[in-house]
C-alpha cells in the first residue's frame, strides 16, 4: 500500500494557494516548483545566483524531510523568465546535481511574482532500505 505524505515548508504561498512543498507517494518524492524565497523571512534576493542557491536550500530541506537528498533526484526542471539568467546559475546547479546527472529541462516562462528569477522543481526516489 502506498502511503502519501505532504511536506510543508511554512511558505505563506502554500497556505494561500493550497499546495505542499513536497509530496511523498510510496517511494517517490515530488518537490513543487521552488523559488528563491527564504521562507523563514519571506524575503528574496535580487540576484539570480543567490536565488538559485536559496532554491536549492529549500529543496534540500524538503528532500531531507522526505528521507532523501540530491543524490536521489531523477528529474529537475528549471523555469526562468529570462534565458540569460540560466548560465550564471550553472556552477550552483552543478554543485547540487553534477554527480547525480538527473534528467533536466529548462523552460523560459513567466513566474508568479516579478521578483522571482528562477524556479526549480525536482522528482526523486527514496533510497532503498535493506529490511
> 103-122 b/e with 16+ CB inside 10 Å = b?
eeeeeeeeeeeeebbbbbbb
Confidence of residue 118 (pLDDT cuts 50, 70, 90): very high
Mean pLDDT of 110-127: 97
Residue with cell string 534528467: 103
Residue 113 has pLDDT above 60, yes or no: yes
Is 121 part of any domain? yes
Tens-digit pLDDT profile for residues 41-92: 989 999 999 999 999 999 999 999 999 999 999 999 999 999 999 999 999 9
62 SS3 class: helix
pLDDT at position 128: 80
Domain that holds residue 102: 4-125
Is 130 a member of any domain? Answer: no
Provide the number of structural domains found in the chain: 1
CATH of the domain at 99: 3.30.1330.40
Q: Kindly state whether residue 52 falls inside one of the protein's structural domains.
A: yes
Amino acid at each position: 500500500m502506498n502511503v502519501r505524505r505532504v511536506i510543508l515548508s511554512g511558505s505563506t504561498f502554500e497556505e494561500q494557494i493550497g499546495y505542499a512543498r513536497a509530496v511523498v507517494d510510496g517511494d517517490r518524492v515530488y518537490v513543487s516548483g521552488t523559488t528563491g524565497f527564504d521562507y523563514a523571512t519571506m524575503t528574496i534576493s535580487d540576484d539570480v545566483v543567490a536565488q538559485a542557491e536559496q532554491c536549492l536550500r529549500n529543496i534540500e530541506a524538503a528532500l531531507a524531510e522526505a528521507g532523501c537528498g540530491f543524490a536521489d533526484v531523477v528529474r529537475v526542471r528549471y523555469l526562468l523568465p529570462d534565458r540569460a539568467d540560466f548560465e550564471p546559475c550553472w556552477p550552483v546547479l552543478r554543485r547540487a546535481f553534477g554527480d547525480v546527472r538527473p534528467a533536466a529541462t529548462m523552460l523560459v516562462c513567466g513566474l508568479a511574482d516579478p521578483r522571482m528569477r528562477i524556479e526549480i522543481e525536482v522528482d526523486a526516489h527514496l533510497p532503498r532500505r535493506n529490511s
